[in-house]
Chains A and B, each alone.
Chain A
């Protein structure tokens, strides 16, 4: 229980970290607004007590004096509400300003393995959804609970001023209520957790029934009726659980109400006895009964809701703590350090490198050794899962937990800073990013110093200059779908823009990881020819990974990989002459195209 209380203190700490003054202000306002109901009770009591004499003497002034007190309490309440709204608005802004960039920055600096691992990725999505709102809710939830406690204490103080013993007796009665409420809160949360899998499945079936992606198979195969049934089954289950949970919550919160009504009965009895004995005034007694019956209602519904929210908030704090524990790669968010580009590329050596992906047991790279020299074009080929893409991931520092060493220009690659590595290698991946920026910004993303003329030149080289000119605002046209005047490109065109961005960089080594996987064979040819032409003309060193042997053939040197190591290496002709692994692979792919007019083999 204690550790739990501590957990949600986190929200206060976070709030204070974002803005001390506003946080303190909100707490102060909340406390003062919590003190008001007991004051109001007293003010009304004062009026009620004065009334008999007012009626007797017909002296209205006294009554109006007391009314003025009540009015003052109302006014205070009103002012506090207005100021609170304003302060909370500001508070919310300062939470956003601090937490949003902090969290996004944190996720952005994480080690890449966390992004690839489904469980952490889900966690990040959960926490990243709307952190400022979650912190605000957590903080406000604590204040809500505090407010109830203060209001109740206030009432007990009023009772206590007439009879301490009865106040203590009442206090004792509150304890079981809180325990029941706390339990019901936890239970409500547990059931809502049980519902999640059913809800997710139902959501997926709904997707199958109504999405664009599934429309063709849905129409041809006609599975709507059956999947509709599946959807109903999951939804029924969900509703049944909900029903069960509601029943529990209903019974519990109603039993809290009943306990409270009993409490009210006992308290009222006490109050009546106090009035009878003359130690309490009628006014206070009536005023207290009014306040207490308002409290019952609050307690029976809100308390269990507040506490179940409290439990949820605890879990969120745990999630948040888990995110904070994830390892970051220091300085991974720095801009490239272009000074390193002055160091000419001499060699890149993989020396007995072995690597296992986290959460896996298989060695993807096994005792992998290789040397790369300047000015040549290298192609990595091999069947799916042979480890060819992993080589790129290690080189760019996405994973660092390998054995053996990678040496760049005679120095271990880990001795270069992450900003230096970024400047030294230009990398293009299969899942290229479709940044929704203008064409110019797209290219300057890789190299901010590119002039307009250089940009036009690059687009020309990649064969998309014509397309660029046809855009409504030329290279200043936003690409994608974000703006009303955005223009979306085809898959092949996006790929060429990404390629132009890569080649526009100041890097010393150019790396392409399956860059053509999403293209048709004609666009693919064009892409590789462009890489080849641009690479040779600029005497650049390029590495590319592919499973299409036609593309590999264009390279100066082909590195054939199998089971995490290099099995063959050499030029296309040399490898064919060897009549081994590569030659066999090539034969299978080439067979279709040999000129056996007519019949397939």
Chain B
């Protein structure tokens, strides 16, 4: 894969701003217009405060009439109210915008993810990238928001303040750097500390979680109790979190040290400003009103600087990595398709096909040639890990081979068009999904575009054929009952779920169907019926049955024996029994105690 250049922070911001802007340009402009207004009002309030204070100082000396102080006061009050309102509106738009942006960024990701090929999900690296991209999607708008606030709130505020201070006394803008240099320095120094801590503790945190799970989670609870291993894990758990604690303590102390130093500078800054103001006052350069107003402004500025550097930029530096990953994710290669239309799935040919999962070195399937003809049923048998399931995914076109050719209906796999590749194929997967959806959607999910018939007749038929009896289960709202243990709904047993997954496969129009170990969770009586019904329904369509309970193979036209990724033999059941010792061994093993 091509190595990508790491985006610089500026490029990242330049990429992010248009995306966030496009979510809703009108709201975007409004939000930051109000933010800008907020900055203006903050400074205006300070300016007015000076006049007002001068007025108050004038009351006692009698130089200013009380009524004009009242005038000054009412304008001040008005400015305050306006300031609160503008600030509120900007924040309000902000919240709303933030939600909308997150939705759109995530939606874009959803779409991108749907274009990846199925095999990409077998790559732990890609899974990791997906995870981080989703987290990054949440932070894109925050990045833009901080940058925009700096541009439209903090910078204007400081600029206006500078102008105001300059007009009062040309020396005064000196105050400005004193307010932000210490916090800025401290921020830069400390930003690396926490990322380092994260790296140091990542394994330890995983361990802590695991030991806690050993003591409290459902999967471990019973066994830990009957083993009497509680004390053991409790001491491991305590030891681990204390080690994390120690590392964290060290980091915090370092960070505190830097912060303390920077606070000393801030303190010096405050004092410097006060001395400067008093000197100017004594020399008669500024009025008492200006003195008090600037004092108030200084508090405000220190507060704002802390807000920007400690709070907002601090959070951002933690998420920049993820935002970068969000943008990089869109460069991931997608599944490619051809242009030829063929929906003929009844004839599939593999020739010298090999396939290796990403991140592994040993091929799962190697040099396999197989021809499934129209109407034929092939059983694939073999031990766990022999490549049976991988072979079925190659037959369905879900995975593209590394080597060799797959011809579907006579057309090479890469040349088939997007709309036709998976059309007319169906499958009951080994680890079928238990969707927390309504019963109807759980069936319909295999083909949302298909007709469901009047009152869901076709959906009901599929369920009936699969042996899922809607009356027997507590389906309060019949097809619209939500099936879920997480949300309020009805929960099904393993066996019922399995039947539902079979109904799902039947609901889809198919010329080829794959049954991957479909009866693992069903008791022997039911297993019998499912295979019989399956053969009856199949009629002239092609089918693949994957199983390690060899009893079912007798229904197939031919049996394909997999061993360590290769086809070790193929033929009818009887022929294989006669000529192939390994098959005979499998057959005997699986039926060993049943004769």
Contacts and interface: CB of A to CB of B under 8 A. Distances in A.
Which secondary structure characterizes the binding site on chain B? helix
Contacts of B436: 204
A422 B429 contact: no
A293 B83 CA distance: 12
Given A89-B256, A208-B433, A585-B524, 13 more contacts: A85-B256, A97-B242, A107-B215, A115-B218, A224-B111, A239-B100, A290-B296, A384-B495, A422-B226, A431-B222, A520-B548, A593-B551, A598-B573
B536 to A, nearest CB: 12
A428 B53 CA distance: 81
A333 B230 contact: yes
Interface in B188-215: 203, 206-207, 210, 212, 214-215
13 contacts: A51-B288, A89-B253, A101-B237, A108-B225, A208-B435, A243-B99, A246-B96, A282-B60, A398-B222, A484-B203, A521-B549, A549-B524, A593-B550
B340 interface: no
Nearest to B493: A384
A300 B210 contact: no
Contacts of A54: 281-282
Contacts of A428: 223
Contacts of A425: 226
Contacts of B422: 219-222
A319 B485 CA distance: 21
A93 interface: yes
Contacts of B486: 200, 204
Contacts of B130: 210
Interface in A148-192: none
A593 B224 contact: no
A434 to B, nearest CB: 8
B574 interface: yes
Q: Top 4 A-B pairs ranked by shortest CB distance?
A: A592-B551, A593-B591, A224-B114, A550-B593
Given A44-B295, A445-B229, A592-B549, A520 B384 contact: yes
Contacts of B383: 520, 522-523
A25 B546 CA distance: 69
B111 A82 contact: no
B44 interface: no
A424 to B, nearest CB: 10
B249 A591 contact: no
B96 A243 contact: yes
Interface string A233-244: 001101100110
Interface residues of A, number: 158
A585 B527 CA distance: 12
Contacts of A216: 118, 393, 398, 427, 429
Given A107-B216, A219-B422, A600-B554, A201 B487 contact: yes
Interface string B104-116: 0011011101100
Interface string B123-136: 00001001000100
A489 to B, nearest CB: 12
Contacts of B525: 383, 585, 588
A476 to B, nearest CB: 16
Contacts of A264: 77, 80
A358 B233 CA distance: 29
B485 to A, nearest CB: 6
Contacts, number: 376
A446 B228 CA distance: 8
B73 A422 contact: no
Interface string B227-254: 1111110100110011001000100110
Interface string A190-228: 000000010011001010111111111111111111101
A577 interface: no
Interface residues of B, number: 139
Contacts of A128: 212, 216
Interface string B502-538: 0000001000000000000001110010000000000
B396 interface: yes
Contacts of A47: 278
A523 B589 CA distance: 10
B56 A282 contact: yes
Given A82-B256, A294-B299, A219 B117 contact: yes
Nearest to A70: B274
B593 A554 contact: yes
B224 A433 contact: yes
Contacts of B245: 93, 96-97
A221 B445 contact: yes
B218 A275 contact: no
Nearest to A518: B520
Contact of A220 (B73, B241, B425): B425
A277 B60 CA distance: 9
Contact of B431 (A204, A213, A218, A224): A213
B275 interface: yes
B8 interface: no
Interface string B52-66: 010011011100001
Interface string A407-446: 0000000000001001101111101110110000000011
Given A217-B433, A423-B228, A286 B88 contact: no
Interface in A307-366: 332-336
Interface string A547-568: 1011101100000000000000
Q: Pick the most buried of A118, A272, A278, A396: most chain B CB atoms within 10 A of its CB.
A: A272
Interface string B256-268: 1001100110010
Contacts of B267: 74-75, 78
Contacts of B225: 108, 112, 332, 398, 422
A242 B95 contact: yes
A81 B110 contact: no
B288 A490 contact: no
A226 to B, nearest CB: 4
A391 interface: no
A115 B221 CA distance: 8
Interface in B142-179: none
B270 interface: yes
Given A51-B281, A422-B228, A445-B227, A112 B221 contact: yes
B230 to A, nearest CB: 4
A282 B282 contact: no
A336 B228 contact: yes
Contacts of A522: 383-384, 548, 586, 589-590
Interface in A557-601: 585-586, 588-595, 597-600
Nearest to A77: B267
B398 A446 contact: no
A492 B207 contact: no
A531 interface: no
Contacts of A225: 114, 448
A48 B292 contact: yes
A93 B106 CA distance: 37
